[in-house]
Amino acid sequence: MENRAERTSQCSGLIRWLFLLLGLLSFRPASAQTNVILVLPDADAFVSAAAPANNYGGGGGLSVSGSSAVNGLGEQGGLFDTLMRFSLSNAVVTFDNSLGAGNWSIAKARLLLHEVAAPNAPIFNRGVGSFQVLWLASDSWIEGAGIPRAPSSNGVKWNDLPSIVNSALDLSLGVFTNSGKNLPISLTLNLRDPFVADIRGGGEVSLHFTAASPGVGFTFNSRSVGSTSERPLLEITASAAPKPRIDSINLSGGSVSVSFTTMSNLTYRLQGSDTLTSSSAWTDLFVVPGQAAPGVQVFQDGITNRQRFYRLSVSP
């Protein structure tokens, strides 16, 4: 029967084996390769609660307004929401070509807008306040061609919002505050999983702007504004999928603890095998599906063999 000294020696040997194999089976990531794409909307429109049957999809401005905001004449104009849609097919092709087909993750997404502090059209309200940007599960809305001085009945209207907005599926990408000045404004969006999956899918991605405080009167240029440099953009940064790396491994209390750090929106598989040959059978021990935020993962493996080999893989 083994004595305590022999067991301690074997445990120490096991740790040495595990660390040796980590050096063979995992790799330190090189400097991340990234690419940034700017995407113009292919549709945008604002809708007004005060004129619920009117479409305003062809104007040069968009608006998000709370219930108490007023226009330049001091008149309350009521609630305004904005819808915006982007086609991501060309962006996905570009990322595939530059970073490897499917071999990339979304690192950052920003909306670049140009605020108009004192819009000329009296329909638009003014005021600094907070507003929310949401990812929409539905893309089934039509921009329309109505403008403030000549609204149309064709295209998205306030009355259509109940059939477009789905509180059970739509997700907040952040709450922001406008500046009340004629300045560019940048909104860094939260990388919620369905939003990221929508981008990676290469189809249409719709966003919904709505008031989060009653006094907000945020007006900004639409895709139809004359100045091309002041049109809205969705800026997407993608990074090449990193090589996997196991950070540490420890033996304590009758189990092995294996830790590794995950990056955004990638699937990680920690696998184990009792042999290390060309025909070794590797078994999934711990799978971490794609998540919006990076983090440290720890797997506790009960010791059932004196020798176990680990490897870590990553995929989009």
Q: Could you count the other beta carbons within 10 Å of the beta carbon of residue 277?
A: 7
CB-count exposure of residue 195 (10 Å: 0-12, 13-18, 19+): buried
* Distance between CA atoms of residues 24 and 304, nearest Å: 22
pLDDT of residue 289: 85
Distances in Å between the Cα of 53 and the Cα atoms of 31, 140, 161, 278 are 53, 17, 11, 68
Q: Which residues pair with 76 in a beta bridge?
A: 70
Nearest to 178 by CA among 120, 114, 108: 114
Q: pLDDT by residue for the chain (316 residues), tens digit each?
A: 444 333 333 333 343 334 334 333 333 333 458 999 999 999 999 999 999 999 999 999 999 999 999 999 999 999 999 999 999 999 999 999 999 888 888 999 999 999 999 998 999 999 999 999 999 999 999 999 999 999 999 999 999 999 999 999 999 999 999 999 999 999 999 999 899 999 999 999 999 999 999 999 999 999 999 999 999 999 999 988 777 788 888 887 778 889 988 877 778 999 988 888 878 889 999 998 877 667 889 998 886 666 788 899 887 7
Q: Could you count the other beta carbons within 10 Å of the beta carbon of residue 180?
A: 16
CB-count exposure of residue 287 (10 Å: 0-12, 13-18, 19+): exposed
CATH topology assigned to domain 4-29+242-315: Immunoglobulin-like (2.60.40)
CATH architecture of 34-240: Sandwich (2.60)
Q: Which helix (H) or strand (E) holds 259?
A: strand 255-262
Domain boundaries, the chain: 4-29+242-315, 34-240
List % helix, strand, coil for the chain (3-state, nearest 5). Answer: 15, 40, 40
* Distance between CA atoms of residues 308 and 306, nearest Å: 7
